[in-house]
Each structure stands twice: as C-alpha cells, then as structure tokens.
Amino acid sequence: MYLYHFGIRELPFTLTPNTSYFYGLPSHRQALEVLLTALKSGEGFIKVTGEVGTGKTLLCRKLLNELPDHFVAAYIPNPYLSPSELRRAVASELNVVLSEDADQQEFTQRIQKKIIEYNQVHKGVVLIVDEAQALPLESLEALRLFTNLETESRKLLQVVLFGQPELDEKLSLPQLRQFKQRITFTYQLDVMDEDQTFHYVKHRMTVAGYRGADAFSRRHCKLLYKASRGTPRIVNVLCHKSLMLAYGEGGNIIDRKHIKMAIADTDSTYSMGSLWPWLGLLLLTTAIAAVSYYWHFGLNWRAWL
C-alpha cells in the first residue's frame, strides 16, 4: 500500500475502533466526562446515542480503557440476543457459571451473589452494551430486571448503552416506559465542524507516523467536510482513498482531484454537484492496477537480477 511512500508506520484511516487514534473531539470528551461522572455517582442506566459513523464504538472502547480500577466491566458488543442469550453473555463476562437450563431466577441469584462479592471488596460492576438499538424488546426488559439489584444507597449493577438514534425511538414505545424512566444520564454525539475535520485528519496522520507538511490542507478538509458533513467514518474512507490515488499516480502530495475522485467513488457521501461517479471509480481502479503491476514487476525484476 502507501505506507512507505508517505513515510507512515500504519494505515491512519482504517475503520477499526483503535483507541490510539482517539482524537478527543469536544463531543467525545464531554460524553466521556458524563459517563465517568455518572458511573462514579452510582447511576443505574446511562445512554449515549449518535448517528452511524460518529465514533460510538471508539468511545465505548475508550471508556473501557478509562474505567477506574474499582470497576469490573462486562462488555456486550453484539446485543442482538434473546433474553436467555443475553443472560448467558452477561454471566460469561462476569465469570458466572449457569446450568444448561438456567432461567431468570437462577441467573438473578448467581449474578447477585457474584456482584455482592465484588461489592464487598469495594468494586462496582458496569455492563456496557454497544449497538444497543439492536436489542429485542424482550431483552431490553430482561436488561431492566438486571438492575433491580441494589443496596440502600446505590445500584449494584450499572448499565451503559451505546446506540444509534433508533434506540431512542425504541425506548419511546409504551411497553418500555419503565425502562426509559430509569435512564438518568444521556448524551448525544455530534458530528465534526470544518475546523475539527482538519485537526482530526492531521491527528490521525501524525499518530500513524507522518512527519511532513500537512498532507491534507484546510482547503482539502473543506471538501472532506462538505462531502461527509463531519461524519468521522466517511472522512476516514475519503482520506484512505485519496492517499491511494496519490500513491497510484506516484505523487507525494494529495491534490484536490484525488479528493474529488474519492468523493465520487463513495456512495455514502453527500451531493457535491456535477461529479461523475464513474470517473472516481475508474481512476481508483486504475491506481490499484498500477500498484499491483508495480509490485509484481518490481519483485520479478529483483529476482531476475
């Protein structure tokens, strides 16, 4: 790929939630502060929502890394689970063994025993659920019942939900009104503005090891912002493709045409006027083919020598 070409150690714009690339956008910093404050105060349910691609999973991983030592975390990344499957997932995360035909009563008893053991050594238990909008209604009700475990002063089990806006729609259903009433802290993630987009891109290039002048200028980032509307995931896709295009042409500088072609080749971008979608795809395909030919020819040439 383009690593050595641009003098970087690793790909800076992958879509995996790598916490070493956590930039600390104002929205993310505030959300993290709200989460940590709510957990320390012993609140039962805490909710963070945001549109697709705004960094919820990255924030979720960051929270797991930042939890104080007196917390024990149970993490459920894929919550499309029945109540029974959810109970088993939580039990597994907390190292609680259930029988094959365990019901709600057995689960409650064994989980309560484990949580009380943690409480006796001054440790709190927090259940963190990512993509919570995928939880079936029956599983949300089972989750509510988990939090009935409490002392006179605080909940023994705290729950943090990360989800898309569809989670709010689901919680507005009449049958979930008891669940909704238990959510005491909530936060909604924002997208980036134009200036934040520039610093976000620069930060990721720097973390990856880039040491040259700004690979993506403010003019470039203005284009990126307009096409992505400040959504970090879309910015990542566009930057990755732009670097590929520049590398495919053998250039060391990102040009506006590279960004425009990346935009035209990406379905999730917002309208930028009269860009031809097929032109971006053609240029990207040509660049990839050129890179493949270079590697194949270069390796064969070296072997012949």
- The pLDDT tens digits for 218-239 are 999 999 999 999 999 999 999 9
- The pLDDT tens digits for 10-54 are 999 999 999 999 999 999 999 999 999 999 888 789 999 999 999
- pLDDT surpassing 80 at residue 285: no
- pLDDT surpassing 50 at residue 302: no
- The pLDDT tens digits for 182-215 are 999 999 999 999 999 999 999 999 999 999 889 9
Instruction: Name the percent of the chain lying above pLDDT 90.
Output: 62
Domain ranges of the chain: 3-7+192-304, 26-188
CATH 3.40.50.720 fits 26-188, yes or no: no
pLDDT of residue 42: 83
DSSP line for the chain: --HHHHT-SS-TT-SS--GGG----HHHHHHHHHHHHHHHTT-SEEEEE--TTSSHHHHHHHHHHH--TTEEEEEES-----HHHHHHHHHHHTT----TT--HHHHHHHHHHHHHHHHHTT-EEEEEESSGGGS-HHHHHHHHHHTT-B-SSSBSEEEEEEE-THHHHHHTSGGGHHHHHTEEEEEE-----HHHHHHHHHHHHHHTT--SS-SS-HHHHHHHHHHHTT-HHHHHHHHHHHHHHHHHTT-SS--HHHHHHHHHT-TTSPP-SS--HHHHHHHHHHHHHHHHHHHHHHHHHHHH-
- pLDDT surpassing 70 at residue 142: yes
- pLDDT surpassing 80 at residue 171: yes
